[in-house]
Amino acid sequence: MGRILRVAVTFLIVALAIAVAPPQAQAQTVDEIVARNLQARGGLEKFKAVQSIKQTSHLKIQGMNATLTLYAKRPNLSRQEVTIAGATMIAAFDGVNAWGINPMAGQTTPQALTGQAADQARREADFDPPLLDYGAKGTKVEFVGNEPDGARTLIHLRITDKAGVVINCYLDSQTALEAKIVTQSPAGPMETRLSDYRDVGGLKMPFSIRTTAAGVVVADLIVDTIEFNVLMPASLFTMPGKGVKNDAWRPFSLMMSA
């Protein structure tokens, strides 16, 4: 799901925002904030009507140009294909098992993922945004506070899933759309900025996604196309052949979705 302005201008705007905005946000319950976000994205009915998603993007990651194609299907099937320098990496989850192919690491046959790698793939296969039906998923959402972000104010929500994994989600106080996502990685905090929201089939989707770590840009992603309710055979998500186990391989992930 930011814009940083000059500090001198920001200080005055934020001071005014703090004087006016927080009482309104504080008066809202978490459920009201979540409901406002889902409505801003297009509404619960629109989300529930989507049974599959195909997204194509181009990006620059660590100085290299790449393309990314994402496939997702209810309830929790996913496949990611990243092509860099002619080599295509695949990470997929068939609803039970996670697997991948990483030719850049010399792996040309499917690898069954286990351990933390499988857990990560399983979490990322959740079809709906984390705030949708969060209570039914066993997820806890807390309102942390309102925080300045350049000329705007962000509503900070802490999302903790049933496995204890924490996502810090920041909503634009004016639009209620996801503006920033902060997660923890083995290398430290990862910040993802979401912008350029566009209407796709009645849902607001971010078309620009930038991920940074320690202030350094890790990846810049621009979405090219998003298609809903595309026919996807089960074989798209199933590991070909028998494969071998690998608990160290990591699926490619930018967030992505808010």
Tell me how many degrees the CA angle 227-230-235 measures, rounded to the nearest 5: 130
Alpha carbon of residue 227 to chain centroid: 17
Give per-residue pLDDT as tens, 145-198.
999 999 999 999 999 999 899 999 999 999 999 999 999 887 789 999 999 999
The answer to the question of residue 204 being in a domain is yes
Residue 145, domain CATH: 2.50.20.10
Q: What is the pLDDT of residue 21?
A: 42
Judge whether 12 lies within some domain: no
Q: Judging by beta carbons within 10 Å of its beta carbon (0-12, 13-18, 19+), is residue 52 exposed, middle or buried?
A: middle
* Domain assignment of residue 172, yes or no: yes
Buried b (16+ CB within 10 A) or exposed e, 158-176: ebbbeeeeebbbbbbbebb
Q: pLDDT, tens digit, for every residue of 97-150?
A: 999 999 988 888 998 988 888 888 888 888 999 999 999 999 999 999 999 999
First to last CA, the chain: 5
Number of domains in the chain: 1
Enclosing domain of residue 163: 30-246
Position with higher pLDDT, 114 vs 233: 233
Asked if residue 44 is part of any domain, the answer here is: yes
pTM over 0.85: no
